């Protein structure tokens, strides 16, 4: 899955949120480029490879979509943060606070999915690298 395919995938799933934020579902600076970059960095891609990253295995694509979903919802929450009000006009009402509440719920769900896959939320949290330690405790006492 390349970056353009990922932006399209995210647009199909989070289109109403993106529309409310004024973000196109494209891999552009004012679109989904920032969350896609953050997702790839959190997965351990070096910064000089995120422009051309295109995972192909099912597991890598699933990890990418999970990470990109989280990063996209995080960006949407930031974008909606300044719009957390309800507006009523003669033509109808806009319930931006309700959308922000729903976006927060979806962000939490995306975070739970990310955690269930054992993935890092950001490259800064110290777990966004391809190496892991697994302690089997085989040298400990048998009763442990």
Band of residue 127 on the pLDDT scale cut at 50, 70, 90: very low
Q: Which two tokens stand for residue 55?
A: 């995972």
Measure CA of the first residue to CA of the last residue in the chain; give whole Å.
44
DSSP 87: E
Residues 102-120 pLDDT 10s: 899 999 999 999 989 888 7
Helices (H) and strands (E) in the chain, counts: 4, 2
User: How many other C-beta atoms are found inside a 10 Å radius of the C-beta of residue 103?
Assistant: 24
Residues 71-101 pLDDT 10s: 999 999 998 876 666 677 788 776 667 788 8
The domains of the chain are located at 3-119
Write down the pTM of the prediction. Answer: 0.76
- What mean pLDDT comes out for the span 44-63? 93
Measured CA to CA, the distance from residue 67 to residue 42 in angstroms comes to: 8
């Amino acid at each position: 899955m390349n970056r353009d395919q990922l932006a399209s995938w995210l647009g199909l799933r989070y289109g109403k949120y993106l529309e409310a934020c004024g973000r196109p579902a494209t891999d552009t600076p004012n679109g989904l480029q920032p969350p896609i970059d953050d997702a790839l960095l959190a997965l351990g891609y070096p910064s000089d490879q995120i422009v051309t990253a295109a995972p192909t295995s099912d597991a890598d694509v699933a990890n990418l979509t999970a990470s990109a979903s989280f990063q996209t919802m995080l960006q949407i929450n930031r974008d909606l943060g300044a719009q957390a009000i309800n507006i009523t006009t003669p033509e109808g009402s806009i319930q931006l606070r309700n959308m922000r509440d729903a976006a927060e719920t979806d962000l939490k769900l995306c975070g739970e999915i990310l955690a269930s896959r054992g993935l890092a939320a950001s490259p800064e949290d110290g777990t966004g690298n391809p190496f892991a330690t697994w302690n089997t405790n085989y040298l400990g006492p048998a009763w442990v």
